[in-house]
């Protein structure tokens, strides 16, 4: 996937109203006891999801640009994981923002407390170990773990 840097404020963001609605939908998306409803709330926020997607408790699917996240059929994103489509770490240094779409392939499993950075594509049936930080694309049918995540199988 492509990751690009833009001058901060160069890209349009959602209106204040739309961002407020997205923020309000975060609470039920984080804590709802019914897993299918958690996925539904994230869909309402703008995340594109396939069938039978499971989203764990306290999963943060980027609030700034959730429409850039695509999750394939039968994928799992487990509790306390973070999926980011933007990175503002350079804002105070050179005034830029990094933005990139996230694609989580069919049947992928994202372990607990993972962080997925902007512009990453996770292959079909890939497993991402708990606590991993993904900064690069992954291959299909493989296992990744570590900080930064590396292929282990």
User: Would you name the residues annotated as active-site residues?
Assistant: 86
Q: Are β-strands 82-83 and 69-71 bridged in parallel, bridged antiparallel, or unpaired?
A: unpaired
Asked if 6 and 99 touch (Cβ cutoff 8 Å), the reply is: yes
Structure tokens at 143: 């296992």
CA–CA distance, 57 with 48 (Å, rounded to integer): 18
Q: Nearest 10 degrees: CA dihedral of 104, 105, 111, 117?
A: -30
Q: How many residues does the chain have?
A: 153
């Amino acid at each position: 996937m492509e990751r690009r840097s833009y001058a901060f404020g160069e890209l349009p963001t959602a209106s204040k109203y739309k961002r407020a609605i997205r923020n309000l939908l975060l609470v039920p998306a984080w804590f709802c006891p019914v897993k299918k409803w958690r996925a539904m709330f994230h869909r309402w926020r703008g995340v594109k999801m396939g069938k039978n997607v499971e989203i764990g408790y306290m999963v943060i699917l980027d609030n700034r640009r959730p429409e850039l996240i695509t999750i394939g059929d039968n994928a799992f994103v487990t509790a306390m994981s973070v999926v980011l489509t933007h990175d503002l770490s350079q804002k105070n240094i050179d005034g830029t923002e990094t933005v990139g779409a996230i694609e989580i392939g069919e049947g992928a499993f994202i372990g607990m407390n993972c962080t997925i950075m902007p512009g990453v594509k996770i292959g079909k049936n890939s497993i991402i170990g708990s606590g991993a930080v993904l900064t690069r694309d992954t291959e299909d049918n493989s296992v990744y773990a570590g900080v930064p995540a590396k292929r282990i199988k």
